[in-house]
Structure 1
Amino acid sequence: MLILPKRHLVLENDKKTNPSALNEKAGISPPEIISSAVAKNIQKFRNSQPTSKELIDGILSGNITALSRAITLVESTNPDHLIKANEVINACLSHANKSVRIGITGVPGVGKSTFIEAFGKHLTNLGKKVAVLAVDPSSTISHGSILGDKTRMEELVKDPNAYIRPSASGETLGGVARKTRETISLCEACGFDTIIIETVGVGQSETAVHSMVDFFLLLKIAGAGDELQGIKRGIMEMADAIVINKADGDNIKKAKLAKTEFNRALHLFPAKKSGWIPTTASCSALTKEGISEVWQTIEKFLAQTKENDYFYKKRSEQNEYWMLETINEQLKLNFFNNPEIQKLLDSTKKAVQNGETSPFAAAQLLLKTYFK
């Protein structure tokens, strides 16, 4: 017979009378803050799928919920949603093309979101209806995106004349989302007269946004470069204006110096087809200094380009460009959704990885199979 020491018996009894603090005790269930009937109605509304006509009528009447649901439909990669999305877009096209499209880009940390909030508030105070299409980078590892731009624009998001729509860039290069061009048309049909596209901000490769906006604004910060940037063909070459942000506090002198340096850099670029001479300016999105001057610059640009017809010519060229881009995208989608390609793809990938065939020969095999 095993006799336990007294100390061990005390510990065993203590466990029964004083359970560990790590054990979870049954608490008081929280009071019901919403009735079950209301919860069911909300769930039913979210699960319901509006018809194309309901979405179209909602968008044309300025309903933000209908606009958001239509954009989600347009961005969907589900082939079943494509027909419905095209119906909505086609019905809205005749009500589009009545806005000013402004692309805003810059390196991460330049203050794009803060600038857009200050700029957007300035526009809504002038009576404008502003839609902000914020594009967030997608992770190449998890394929996820934070979509946190609304949290940075606390004031603008509460403005009844503003609408902020974050989207993930996905696998699209160039700093724009896959369906940004279609989203612009839907926002215009919903009554927004100023469309702002905030791009990913990946640097000089970010040029696709230029093909869908009227005015291209490049945000810079002091210390980001000098006139040598002028010989680096890329995103600076496309900018209609360069704005040095964060010109406040001890940074004011540095911002003025950067403005002078970029002015010199702009002289190294060839003349633009629009006849517009790019400008430089400094501002502070924090103190709102220089924000109104940025809008005045855009107004001057619009007046000049509409007078010489460049504005309308560029819009026509952009429509042609995006027609070709849509064809390329649809061909790619059809290729990878083809049943024969899906059967061959895994084995072909393994053959390439094992060095049994070259990537070019494998691609030719898949293409021949697709076009049979």
Structure 2
Amino acid sequence: MVDLPSPVAALAQAILAGERAALARAITLAESRRADHREQARALIQHLLPRTGGAIRVGITGVPGVGKSTAIDALGSYLTAKGHKVAVLAVDPSSSRTGGSILGDKTRMARLAVDPNAYIRPSPSSGTLGGVAARTRETMLLCEAAGFDVVLVETVGVGQSETAVADLTDFFLVLMLPNAGDELQGIKKGIIELADMIAVNKADGAGATPARAAAAQYQAALHILAPSSALWSAPVVTISGLTGEGLDALWTKIEDHRARHEAKGLVAERRHRQDVKWMWAMVEDRLQAKLRQDPDLKARTPALEAAVAAGTLAPTVAAEDIAQALGL
């Protein structure tokens, strides 16, 4: 482990001791845009790295109104009752106009919010492609270092950009609604191809029969696609986030997926590929920061943007001008 400044070293020890307040401070440090905070966060995560990687990482996405937060509240409560420590990283969409977000996930996950073996961290997506907050990876590592053995990552919703969650997690769960006819037409093929499992939610009461019918349609759709792994064909289950029905079967399948892939060394292999992607994503993030902060670029880009908008300068020429200014 690397040497740390005293305050950061104390924070690391508190995280390893499972102190929730310390974990919250560390995540805030990782999410900060201040250069000194970023430097401290990098040192902290490097120091804690040997104590990470032990959790089952599950990405959860779904169409709007599918009941993601209710289902996660139920699943998380089911897991803590089984003795797990569960971290929920709930990414809220940021406004494209104001940059603000509601961050209301704790109010929608009432049971987990007061569960001593659960930790909910809502964070704004800040316009990040993929619906995943820019620092979600770092937050995940910090939670693992604090002793959480299940990490659930809730994404903004279903769409082409949301597939980025597959580069964060070991298992990709897609929640769907019972009325499969229209939903099947609207869902993106790329999401289905990435899914390790589809769960039809709201399969309770009058919704039970439509949910089973929807599950059959989704299963038929999955048969058309080649499985992502020779070890695994994505199953379709029905669940109820309201009553908890079907959550035991859902978790059993996640554990089965984990056991099969871990036995072949595929979990570690997948994470190694994800880490390399993470590295390049951080490089791209730094380039974007340079674009926003470099004084020379900030001075010249308004004129370039105005010329492109007016149709007097080709976007390719303007892009080349900016690239040269960056030394690219």
**Quick check: TM above 0.5?**
yes
Q: Secondary structure at the match of 1:87?
A: helix
Report how far residue 90 of structure 1 moved: 0.8
Maintained 8 Å contact 1:175/1:202: no
Structure 2 Cα separation of the partners of residues 122 and 318 of structure 1: 29
Q: Give the equivalent residue in structure 2 for 1:119.
A: 75
**1:256 is aligned to 2:212:** yes
The 5-angstrom pairing of residues 69-148 of structure 1 reads 69-148=25-104
- How far did residue 312 of structure 1 move? 1.7
The CA distance in 2 between the partners of 1:226 and 1:301, in whole Å, is 30
* 1:340 CA drift (Å): 1.4
Counterpart CA distance in 2 for 1:347 and 1:74 is 34
| In 1, Cα distance between equivalents of 2:146 and 2:261 | 25
Contact 1:170 1:178 in 2 (8 A): yes
CA deviations on 1:101-144 (whole Å, 9 max, x unpaired) are: 00010011100000000000010001100000000111111211
Instruction: Give the C-alpha shift of residue 232 in structure 1.
Output: 5.2
Higher relative contact order (CA closer than 8 Å, sequence separation 6+) = 2
Is 1:279 the counterpart of 2:251? The answer is no
In the other structure, the counterpart of 2:222 is 266
Task: Select the residue among 328, 343, 353 that pairs with 2:299.
Answer: 343
**Separation of aligned partners in 2, 1:159 and 1:69:** 20
Most deviating of 127-136 and 274-283:
274-283
Q: Is the 8 A contact 1:229 1:265 kept in 2?
A: no
**Runs of 5+ unmatched residues, structure 1:** 1-49
- State how far apart, in whole Å, the 2-side matches of 1:290 and 1:149 are: 23
Which residue is equivalent to 1:26? none
**Which residue identity is paired with 2:286?**
Q
Q: 1:138·1:171 contact (CA, 8 Å) conserved in 2?
A: yes
* Structure 1 length-normalised TM: 0.83
How far apart are residue 334 of structure 1 and its match? 2.3
Per the alignment, residue 22 of structure 1 pairs with: none
8 Å CA contact 2:70, 2:109 repeated in 1:
yes
**Cα gap change, 1:313 to 1:246, in 2 (>3 Å):** same
Cα distance, 1:178–1:227 mapped onto 2, change above 3 Å: closer
**CA distance in structure 2 between the partners assigned to 1:344 and 1:272 by the alignment:** 46
| 1:336 shift after superposition | 2.5
Say whether residues 1:154 and 2:127 are aligned partners. Answer: no
Determine whether 1:328 maps to 2:284. Answer: yes
Any gaps of 5 or more consecutive residues in structure 2?
Answer: 1-5
Q: Measure how far apart 1:210 and its partner are.
A: 0.3
- For residues 282 and 238 of structure 2, the distance between their equivalents in structure 1, rounded to whole angstroms, comes to 38
Partner of 1:301: 257
Q: Classify 1:326/1:225 alpha carbon distance in 2 versus 1 (closer, same or farther; 3 Å).
A: farther
Q: 1:54 to 1:274 in 2, by over 3 A?
A: farther
CA distance in 1, matches of 2:230, 2:111: 35
Aligned residue runs from structure 1 range 152-301, under 5 A: 152-225=108-181, 233-273=189-229, 275-301=231-257
CA contact (8 A) 2:61 2:68 kept: yes
Residue identity opposite 2:203 in structure 1:
A
SS of 2:288 mapped into structure 1: helix
CA spacing shift, 1:204–1:256, aligned 2, 3 Å: farther
Identical residues among aligned pairs (%): 46
Distance 2:125 2:183 in 1: 31
Larger radius of gyration: 1
TM-score normalised by the chain length of structure 2: 0.94
**Distance of 2:33 and 2:158 partners within structure 1:** 24
Distance (whole Å) between structure 2 residues aligned to residue 313 and residue 225 of structure 1: 37
Moved more, 159-168 or 197-206: 197-206
Task: Encode CA deviations 1:155-205: one digit per residue, 9 max, x unaligned.
Answer: 111000000000111111112111111111111011100000010014343
AA of the residue aligned to 1:119: L
The offset of 1:98, in angstroms, is: 0.8
Structure 1 runs (4+) deviating above 4 angstroms are 226-232
Q: How many residues align?
A: 323
239-248 or 74-83, which deviates more:
74-83
